Structures are given as structure tokens and as C-alpha cells.
Structure 1
Amino acid sequence: MLYATRAEAGRELASSLGHLRADHPLVLGLPRGGVPVALEVARALDADLDVLVVRKLGLPWQPELAMGAIGEGGVRVFNDDVIAQSGVSRRALSSVEETERRELDRRVRMLRGDRPPIPMTDRVVVIVDDGMATGATAVVACLVARAQGAARVVVAMPVSSEEAMTRVRAEADEVVCPLVPRWLGGVGGAYRDFHQLTDHEVQGALKT
């Protein structure tokens, strides 16, 4: 299977999510690439659409290993095991969090403007991206959604590695993915058009 565009991938993904329509879910696109996918899913499910801006708090010397995550509204989630085992200091943790909070706030202002986020409390939320290679971002998104009161967290992706599926299943209530190849060299390999989205394109999708 090869998707022509992210929009086509979103329509294909939506065909596997019909069972969620009755829940009137909140579809959350992870910027940037997940937003056009999420737009098609929201259209098909007649669901609310919003963006979920999250930032992983990586160890200073190993950024891919998350010691926590932050989201909008001051949400903070920490991985106590990683913090304890790594021996990272409170000062270093605070420094990483401050840096990532500035970047998160910048992205929120750019993408959302003055529009407040749609509340997740007691909602079924569907977290959507254009694909998962490691699953790290999706895991962070799950943690933030739960911290914001989501009743059920579904992760929906057009393509994923087997490794990412295993990782995300441990955090989400349900994971839906039509394409899980035995070997995934990169998410972009599943698309004919995988151009780098501009902020303008993402903003336009959110206003549709």
C-alpha cells in the first residue's frame, strides 16, 4: 500500500474508525504532518477537530529518552523511573522544561492563535499523526491527553513500524493502523507526496 497524499491516508484511516462515530470523538492532529490526516478523519466521523501540541522532555544527554512531557494548560507528566535511574538533577530537569515550554507556547500561538483548545474532559479522543516510526511522540500525546481528562485514548495512524505499535499499545486504549510493514525505513516511504508542510497549510486545515 502506498498513499498518494496525507489527505488520502486520512480517508483510508477513517474507514477503520467508523466504530467511533457514535462516541462523537475529539480528533486531535499532531502538528504538523498529522493535521491534514486528522482533518479527513474528523470529516468522515463528523467529529470535532483540534490540534494537540506536545513536547517531550528528553534527557539532556539523551534527548530521545523521555523523562517527561508537557502540554497546553500547564500539563506536566514525569517519568519517575527515568528520572531516578538517570540521576538527572532538578536544575537540569527545570532547564529542559523551560526550553520546551517556550517552544510549545510558540507553536500554540502560531497554530491556535486566540482560539481556546477544545476540552478533552470525559471525551473519547483520537490522536492522529501521519505515521509512527518510534512511537515516542504518540506516547507523549497519550500521557498529555490522559492528564487533561480524556475518558478514552485512541491512537490512529496510516502507517507504523511494529516497534511503535508495541510501544503505543502500552499507553493507549486502542491503536488503529491499516499499514504495519515488517520493515519501515521511514514514514515518508509510505507516501508518494510527503512534502514538508508549512505553518500556513496547517493553519488552513484547522480553519476548514
Structure 2
Amino acid sequence: MSWNRSVRGDLRQSESVRLPYTDRAEAGRVLAERLAPMGLEGAAVLALPRGGVPVGYEIARRLGSRLDVLVTRKIGYPPQPELGVGAIAEGGAPVFDAGLLQRLGLREQDLAATVAAERAELGRRVEVYRRGRPLPELAGRPVIVVDDGLATGGTARAAVRALRERGPSRLVLAVPVGAAETVGGLDAEVDDLVVPAAPWEFRAVGQWYRDFEQLTDDDVIAWLDRAARTRETG
């Protein structure tokens, strides 16, 4: 199933994409072709590090846009940190999964120490990736948020809510693949949602890529530097 708000009707009849993607670069090129006709040239392209950055590079190159990052952090359940109960994005308030908190018997205030620790790590990554540069001015211009996939969608939801506060003229979420239920749940959060593949049977983002290597901070910096050089040379 493919999801694009500009193509309503029967989404199962939309142009399909062959899975798995070879790597994040191929996924980015597929997304870029979907975004190119939407009148978004020159938009701010904000990738969620780490995995969203190679995807965002291809989109920024195709649209002639500057690539930057929007840093997010998962808020984990303290006894089981890999279980995300919420997320936080730079400049935004924590966004929690209310239903999951209720099932776990937790209140938001119970996670204050975890949120503080994630804010600190978020700040560290902002400094490492952006090296003192602020986010670009976003008010009154289109913004494209990019990641390499959507599983639960927690970090993407935190990201778009934080960005909405900055007043973009058009807020677009673009990911190569996402769990169908998650994609549907994010539809109301953005102005445009572009997801070329939204399978119902979804275990993890990595299952939809042949090459899904884990990226480091140095990898993120290298992709951002490469994007800057590409834009300078045209």
C-alpha cells in the first residue's frame, strides 16, 4: 500500500514500490521523485538522525534545498529502555503515548528523570551535528521532515509537533516505508504525508532494506558536509 494525501481514492491502486529497498540512498531517490511534483523546491529539508540523513540527502539534492537535521530522542520505559513510551524533539515538549502509559501504570511526571537525561543527550547531538548553527528560519516556508521509516511513529510525531510551533507554510512528512496503522495515525499531524510503502505486516524498519547499516555521529556529519558541498557546486 502506498500513501500520499494528494492521491486519495483507493490507495492500493497507487503506483507501487518494490521492496526491500537496496539502501537508504535508493529509498531517498524514490521519495524525491514523489516529492518533486508537489511544488516544494527550496523547502527546508530536515532529516531525523541518524537514519533519516542519507534519505534526506537525496531529497535535498533533487529539490535544490539545504539539508539539515532535527534531533529527536525516544523516551524509554525505565525498566525496559528499548520500549518507547514517548519522544522529544529539539525545541518541543515531550510527546507521550497516553495509552501505553496507562497500560504500564505510569504518569508523565514519573518519567521526569528520563526526560531530563534525553534532553541532555539531545543537546549533545545538536551541538555535534550542527556545530553551533541554529535551525534555519522555518516560518512561512515549506518544511519536509524525513526519516528512513516509521515503526511506532513516536519520534516523527514529536518532530512534526515541534516544527508546527515554528509556523511553516506547509508541513510535509516523507518516509520511504511505514507501518500502515502508524502512517494512518500520523495523517492528521501534517499537511502532506508521503509514504511510498505502508505494509500491514511490519516488524521493524530494517526488514525493508537490504543494507541497513547502523550510522554513527561521524556518518551524520559526513552526509551533512557532503550535502553542503553538493549545493555549493550546483
Code of the residue aligned with 2:164 in structure 1: it is R
Aligned length: 204
Superposition deviation, residue 8 in structure 1: 0.9
Instruction: Give the SS at the match of 1:133.
Output: coil
- Identify if the C-alpha distance between structure 1 residues 87 and 32 changes in structure 2 by more than 3 Å, giving closer, same or farther: closer
Superposition deviation, residue 118 in structure 1: 1.1
* Corresponding position: 1:133 with 2:151: yes
Code of the residue aligned with 1:195 in structure 2: it is E
Structure 2 counterpart of 1:154, from 172, 175, 194:
172
* Corresponding position: 1:88 with 2:107: yes
Match of 1:76 in 2: 93
* Corresponding position: 1:64 with 2:81: no
Structure 2 counterpart of 1:20, from 38, 62, 74:
38
Superposition deviation, residue 128 in structure 1: 0.6
Code of the residue aligned with 1:107 in structure 2: it is R
Superposition deviation, residue 77 in structure 1: 5.1
CA contact (8 A) 1:70 1:76 kept: yes
Cα distance per residue 1:132-169 (max 9 Å; x no partner): 11212111111111123223211101111101111211
- Identify if the C-alpha distance between structure 1 residues 185 and 58 changes in structure 2 by more than 3 Å, giving closer, same or farther: closer
For 1:79 and 1:163, the matched residues in 2 are separated by 18
TM-score, normalised by the number of residues in structure 2: 0.76
- Identify if the C-alpha distance between structure 1 residues 192 and 72 changes in structure 2 by more than 3 Å, giving closer, same or farther: same
Superposition deviation, residue 180 in structure 1: 1.7
Instruction: Give the SS at the match of 1:175.
Output: strand
For 1:78 and 1:22, the matched residues in 2 are separated by 28
* Corresponding position: 1:142 with 2:143: no
| Counterpart mapping for 1:103-118 below 5 A | 103-118=121-136
* Corresponding position: 1:169 with 2:204: no
Residue range with higher mean Cα deviation, 16-25 or 147-156: 16-25
| Counterpart mapping for 1:43-62 below 5 A | 43-57=61-75
Superposition deviation, residue 19 in structure 1: 2.9
For 1:58 and 1:99, the matched residues in 2 are separated by 11
Structure 1, unpaired ranges of 5+: none
Structure 2, unpaired ranges of 5+: 1-17, 227-234
For 2:60 and 2:116, the matched residues in 1 are separated by 33
Match of 2:13 in 1: none
- Identify if the C-alpha distance between structure 1 residues 181 and 21 changes in structure 2 by more than 3 Å, giving closer, same or farther: same
CA contact (8 A) 1:125 1:152 kept: yes
